[in-house]
Amino acid sequence: MNDDAEQQPLTRIPPYARDQLAKAFVTALTHEDAGTRERAKDRARRWRGILDGLADGSLTVGSRTPVAGLPAWVTPEVVRGGFATGEASAGGPLQPYEKEAARRAGVPADRRALFVHALTEAGQADLCALLDDGRYEVSVPEEAALLTVAWLVRSGQVTEAVELVEVLEPFAGRLRFTPRPSAAPAPDASAVHRRTVADAGRALARRRPHAAVETQREALTVWQPFADELLVHWLETAEGERVLARTPDEGWYERGAALLHRYRLLAAAHTRCGKHRDPKENLGILRGALEETVAGRPLDARRIGLLRHAVASMVRRRGVPGSARHLTLRGRQAAQGALPSHHALAQLVLRRLGELPQDMGAADVEPLLVAVTEREHQETGLPVGAPVPASVRGVVEATLSAPLGTLVERGVVPSAEVLAELVPQLVAATTAQAWPDEALRTLMAANYRAFRNRRSLLLLHLERQVRVEDLPWVRAVSGQRGDEAGQEGAHAALRQLGELAVQGFPGTLLPNPLVRELGVLARQADLGAPMVEELAADIFMDTFSPKFLTAARIAGELLRGTLYERYYGIDYAHIRNLAIAEAGEALTRVYRPRTSPQFARLCTARAGASGRGSVAANGKVIEQAQILTTHNLATLVRQVGIAPEPGWEDLAGRCFRTVCRLVARVHHNPRPLATIKDAAYAWRQLIFFLALCTPAEQTRLLAGLDEETARHPAHVAARLAPALAGLQLVAAGGSFADDGTALGGRARRFLGWSTEKHWLRRLPTTREQTAG
């Protein structure tokens, strides 16, 4: 489900809920892992509750208040697809910290008693102490409510405090409004991290030895040396390589019995390899023959033949044990077998992590990743100087706590999606700067971080999701905001994050979670910068909210007359007139319009009518909206003022490299449509950045495109030839026909969605390429 579901009206889909219940039920019954079965049982319980709630009317699909009796500000428990389960995230059994708080206060262990105690003089003193030292956690927004009451009371705003208590009181017995104490103070807002030290420790603790690697290690260090011993033993009876040419003495039989006894001990202790048990393998033949001989049973002619063939084969392949060739081979294999396993090194790093605070990131990860030291060798037996493998390094590096830009530079943030996961930490601190009081600022930042864990609901009729400013305790202190300082800080943070996202991942569509955070900052900065989401084609219903037309008008103000407008055949003057007319109509209405019919009609007309109502047809309409709005790029440039340091030419070049990399994945791909769509999005961002370049930069970049395609497999250049021809055509002043082609089909406008077989899927023949 999209993170901003209010932008796409959805339909009630009971079959989806039934399908999810069925999947959970099957997994709970059949999965081999016990933990997975238990989690599936919990999912099945939730989906069963959803279906029951839909049947009895206690749950409503598509509403901001899906649970009967709970207002919109209550955080609902939401499962996949945006369905509310009927439970509140702040409800359920008492948490351990609540039971401890009740014990200390000497009140019954129930939430209403805790709520009442929090309003007493002693309770207020406890809450104020938490406010001052900042050692508390807010896991769901409701846990910030009574702290806000305490702040209001001590600030002399008793009326606001009483009004907030009146809003909370009906739910005092059901929801937890008290914060949970913490041993650590509030996190540093200037640094973020992907994982806490504890997260990394758990990830490493879950790792198990690699079965294939450990099997190979056992073969190298146990069974091959033992096979050599058996071979040497049999060669004692040989003349040349012909074993049993001489009669063994009693000592030979005793040593053979000892070898067989040691074999049984080895087989019991080392169970990964099974080849030594195979009577057709050389080791099995030598061992089996020895068992018969030591037992006093003579070998028949066939058995003697197998034995002599196995001995000759082993000597021929590796040399006689003790020879230079054999010693070289076994020395190399022994060195390989002695290498420490990744599992053992992961356990060493786990010990290092255990010495750090667990509930935060690591300010410096380098000491955690050094090679094995002498002291660690003495404690673990691992060889001195053994390096930490890359698979373990990646887990630890994710704990690095540093400015977001540093994490992007070091590759800790590998994608725009991961960037979006970290941004709420910074946005929380930025939005909280609007409150001058330090204690309130810390509280509002904690509240925002918790609020961002709230899952989006399935909504109908373009209803919008609950925003943080809708929470009663946030509204109660809204008058304390210093708007001017908050706007400046939000603008600076918005510009920084916008530049970071565009510069770090120029060929990637801004993901919805990131768009959501940018939208929060844009509203606080009051820039008139609408941030639009990517809509889902499978649930799109031909409507857009008014901000899409506003974003398209902003794009026109930046791009009118540029390569971008010409390439996509846009009339930005017409869009400007539509926006002005729609804004004028809105002024005559009592209620603010929730849709932009003019924009929807324009996108539908540009997409064409074929396949109307299908997912692909919806995708074509949505893609046209992204083209007209540039999917937030123009808004970030014109309204926010981003100016990435590498410059537009560099970003355009990196976009084209992304296009080539994605198009390479189309080859022999049975399901290439998602890849083609992403390549078209990267291409669109290439056109946008190219439109902002100077004429000289455009010429230079266009001249180098063929050189870049030559670095990739030949089929990449072949597939992209029509798109490159179309770009060169438009750059030279030409244009496409209404169907998006030119030069008899040899030049094409590159779009991602199609209701027919996409032209990029077909690899042109050599003759066609020559003709082009």
Q: Supply the pLDDT for residue 754.
A: 92
Tell me, yes or no, whether 7 lies in a domain.
no
Long-range CB contact pairs, 91-99, < 8 A, 24+: 91/174, 91/175, 91/176, 94/176, 95/176, 95/180, 97/180, 97/181, 98/176, 98/178
**Number of domains making up the chain:** 3
Q: Supply the pLDDT for residue 591.
A: 64
Domain boundary among 338, 360, 379: 338
- pTM over 0.85? The answer is no
| 298 in the same domain as 395 | no
| 365 in the same domain as 265 | no
CA 519 to chain centre: 21
With beta carbons less than 8 A apart as the criterion, state whether 318 and 294 touch.
Answer: no
Q: Hey, is 77 helix, strand or coil?
A: strand
pLDDT surpassing 80 at residue 184:
no
Overall average pLDDT of the 698-711 stretch:
95
φ/ψ of 172, rounded to 5, equals -65, -35
- Tokens at residue 733, please? 């002043």
Tell me, yes or no, whether 585 lies in a domain.
no
Tell me, yes or no, whether 472 lies in a domain.
no
Tell me, yes or no, whether 78 lies in a domain.
no
CA distances from 263 to 266, 325, 532, 681, 746 (A): 5, 26, 70, 63, 72
- Cβ-based neighbours of 490, under 8 Å, separated by 6 or more: 430, 431, 433, 434, 521, 522, 524, 525
Q: Supply the pLDDT for residue 52.
A: 86
| 369 in the same domain as 224 | no
The confidence band for 542, taking pLDDT boundaries of 50, 70 and 90, is: confident
State the Rg of the chain over Cα.
34
pLDDT surpassing 80 at residue 188:
no
| Neighbour-count burial of 121, counting CB atoms closer than 10 A to its CB (0-12 exposed, 13-18 middle, 19+ buried) | exposed
289 vs 307: CA distance, rounded Å: 7
Q: Supply the pLDDT for residue 5.
A: 39
The confidence band for 474, taking pLDDT boundaries of 50, 70 and 90, is: very high
CA neighbours closer than 13 Å in the CB half-sphere of residue 268? 5
The residue type of 740 is G
| 765 in the same domain as 652 | yes
Determine what percent of the chain falls in helix, strand and coil, rounding each to the nearest 5: 60, 5, 35
What's 527's DSSP letter? -
139 vs 339: CA distance, rounded Å: 44
Q: Supply the pLDDT for residue 242.
A: 85
Tell me, yes or no, whether 381 lies in a domain.
yes
351 vs 108: CA distance, rounded Å: 42
Tell me, yes or no, whether 305 lies in a domain.
yes
- Tokens at residue 361, please? 């990131």
380 vs 351: CA distance, rounded Å: 11
- Cβ-based neighbours of 6, under 8 Å, separated by 6 or more: 459, 462, 463, 464, 465, 545
| Neighbour-count burial of 411, counting CB atoms closer than 10 A to its CB (0-12 exposed, 13-18 middle, 19+ buried) | exposed
With beta carbons less than 8 A apart as the criterion, state whether 655 and 506 touch.
Answer: yes
Domain boundary among 338, 357, 388: 338
| 359 in the same domain as 294 | no
94 vs 113: CA distance, rounded Å: 12
Domain boundary among 338, 364, 387: 338
φ/ψ of 324, rounded to 5, equals -60, -45
Tell me, yes or no, whether 85 lies in a domain.
no
User: Could you tell me the residue range of the domain that residue 737 belongs to?
Assistant: 647-672+689-772
| 347 in the same domain as 329 | no
Model confidence pLDDT, tens digit, residues 735-749: 999 999 999 999 999
758 vs 770: CA distance, rounded Å: 21
304 vs 196: CA distance, rounded Å: 64
Overall average pLDDT of the 211-235 stretch:
87
CA distances from 752 to 189, 207, 295, 672, 682 (A): 39, 40, 76, 11, 10
With beta carbons less than 8 A apart as the criterion, state whether 200 and 399 touch.
Answer: yes
The confidence band for 616, taking pLDDT boundaries of 50, 70 and 90, is: very high
| 219 in the same domain as 300 | yes
CA distances from 213 to 218, 227, 271, 561 (A): 9, 20, 14, 61
679 vs 724: CA distance, rounded Å: 13
| 355 in the same domain as 283 | no
Q: Supply the pLDDT for residue 2.
A: 40
Model confidence pLDDT, tens digit, residues 407-431: 888 888 888 888 888 888 888 878 8
**Minimum mean pLDDT among 188-197, 321-330, 517-526: which range?**
188-197
Report the share of the chain in percent with pLDDT over 70. Answer: 94
431 vs 420: CA distance, rounded Å: 16
pLDDT surpassing 60 at residue 520:
yes
pLDDT surpassing 80 at residue 471:
yes
Q: Supply the pLDDT for residue 3.
A: 43
Q: Supply the pLDDT for residue 7.
A: 41
Provide the 10 A C-beta neighbour count for residue 295.
9
Model confidence pLDDT, tens digit, residues 576-587: 999 999 888 877
44 vs 21: CA distance, rounded Å: 5
| 355 in the same domain as 297 | no
With beta carbons less than 8 A apart as the criterion, state whether 210 and 374 touch.
Answer: no
| 365 in the same domain as 280 | no
Q: Supply the pLDDT for residue 611.
A: 55
* 342-353 vs 197-205: helix crossing angle, rounded to 10: 150
Within 68-157, residue ranges assigned H as helices are 96-105, 111-118, 121-133, 145-154
The confidence band for 6, taking pLDDT boundaries of 50, 70 and 90, is: very low
The residue type of 677 is K
φ/ψ of 88, rounded to 5, equals -95, 140
The confidence band for 593, taking pLDDT boundaries of 50, 70 and 90, is: low
| 346 in the same domain as 202 | yes
| 282 in the same domain as 220 | yes
Model confidence pLDDT, tens digit, residues 123-149: 999 999 999 998 898 999 999 999 999
Tell me, yes or no, whether 360 lies in a domain.
yes
